Amino acid sequence: MKKWMISAALLCSMGAFAQNGTNVEGSRYQFTTIKNLDAGDVQNQGRTGTCWSFSGLSFFESELLHNGKDKGLNLSEMFVVRKMYPLKAANYVRMHGKANFGEGGGFPDDLLCLREYGLVPQSIYDGNKDKMYNHAEMESLLEGLVNKIGEAQGTINPDWSKAFNGVLDAYMGAAPEKFDYNGKSYTPQSFAKELGIHADDYVLISSFTHHPYNSQFVLEVPDNWNWEKVYNVNLTDFTNIAENAIMNGYTIAWAADVSEKGFNFKEGLAIVPEKDWSDMTPEETKNAFLEPGKEKTITAEIRQKAFDNYETQDDHGMHIVGLVKDQNGNKYFRVKNSWGTSNPGQGYFYASEPYFAYKTTCIMVNKKALPADVAKKLGIK
């Protein structure tokens, strides 16, 4: 999840969308809330490819709110980023440069950090934030270093990791090992433990036909550098899991492709019209974002083909926090983004259920959010 780090800053300044439904000027979309869940403040990932951390930690913040804990706590996204970089670099070097390295990542990274390193508040570690996060220069140095090491022939100097961490410390600062917060002393591990959120409470779910349903497989996307497994379910179960989660008070960490013409943050919508965009007139294209129309029926075959053809990629991590319907009864997920609040949607938009079914690469949910029949098929207790 990294493709939109440059576009994010641009899109944040665009658009006219009111999150309560009516929206863009001239729009005839009318949304009625079915379920809306608590979430923390919208953040801005700036010019970085770290959406996976922003969306994952926003998800954890909502878990705390669901559990009645730490209202208003802002968790440090950059603590997770800082902890994952050395692990990605070590993996890249061990793979002789034949693995993915960069700012991108996924929800497995958030779980790994929670499990192994803990979490910290934003007020304790902000990763040397200035007005806006911008990791371009740092990333260039880090990539140059690991590329050189990864391409090395023969013995390499084991102290390369000291140089790597030196760059991270210079640009982000050293991650805290101990800190004081609200009058108590913590380590990141003890802080996470006191929050009461545990990595083993969460599962990663996807839906593809190239692996057996109701089993686990390694999701084949470049940013899954740690080769984490996801549960594979059929498409009906996949959308049912998402609806069931929201209706039972659990939010969803959502990884999806946002390069589609139907994804339009400035209009506050992500849709899949029944007619292909390439066959539409300019007037039809405009009207698709002004008035609800019939959307394409998404099948497992359509979804799989888009993934196999690289039309669906692991572009962006977001946070689903609600469910609405339009005046025709069509359902949409309410989505919290990490591109700031300067658009009239205040950082939120609506994604139709067909868009979710078509363009999702995976989701992270609490095990308790799974429908009982799905949990039984997957062997999850």
User: Which of the four pLDDT bands, split at 50, 70 and 90, describes residue 221?
Assistant: very high
Q: What is the CATH number of the domain that holds 173?
A: 3.90.70.10
Q: Tell me, what's the pLDDT at 108?
A: 98
Q: Tell me, what's the pLDDT at 24?
A: 65
**Mean pLDDT to the nearest integer, 330-355:** 92
pTM reported for the whole predicted model:
0.93
**Mean pLDDT to the nearest integer, 256-285:** 94
Alpha helices in 67-117 (DSSP H): 77-94, 107-116
The more confident residue out of 72 and 261 is 261
Q: Which domain holds residue 23?
A: 5-378
**Mean pLDDT to the nearest integer, 2-23:** 39
Residue type, 178: K
User: Which of the four pLDDT bands, split at 50, 70 and 90, describes residue 262?
Assistant: very high
Q: Tell me, what's the pLDDT at 69?
A: 85
C-alpha to C-alpha distance for 190 and 172, rounded to whole angstroms: 23
For the chain, the domain total comes to 1
C-alpha to C-alpha distance for 292 and 30, rounded to whole angstroms: 9
Q: Tell me, what's the pLDDT at 60?
A: 98
Do the Cβ atoms of 132 and 164 come closer than 8 Å?
no
Between the CA of residue 91 and those of 56, 94, 107, 135, 171, what are the distances in Å? Answer: 22, 5, 17, 21, 22
**Mean pLDDT to the nearest integer, 171-182:** 97
Q: Tell me, what's the pLDDT at 21?
A: 47
**Mean pLDDT to the nearest integer, 224-250:** 98
User: Which of the four pLDDT bands, split at 50, 70 and 90, describes residue 6?
Assistant: very low
Q: Tell me, what's the pLDDT at 22?
A: 41
pLDDT tens digits, 188-212: 999 999 999 999 999 999 999 999 9
Rounded to the nearest integer, the mean pLDDT of the chain is: 92
Computed from CA positions of residues 199, 202, 208, 210, in that sequence, does the dihedral angle turn out positive or negative?
positive
Judged against a pLDDT cut of 80, whether residue 4 lies above it is answered with: no
Judged against a pLDDT cut of 70, whether residue 48 lies above it is answered with: yes
Give the up-direction half-sphere exposure of residue 301: CA atoms within 13 A in the CB hemisphere. 1
Q: Which residues contact 7 (CB under 8 A, 6 or more apart)?
A: none
**264: which 2 tokens?**
């339009």
Judged against a pLDDT cut of 60, whether residue 220 lies above it is answered with: yes
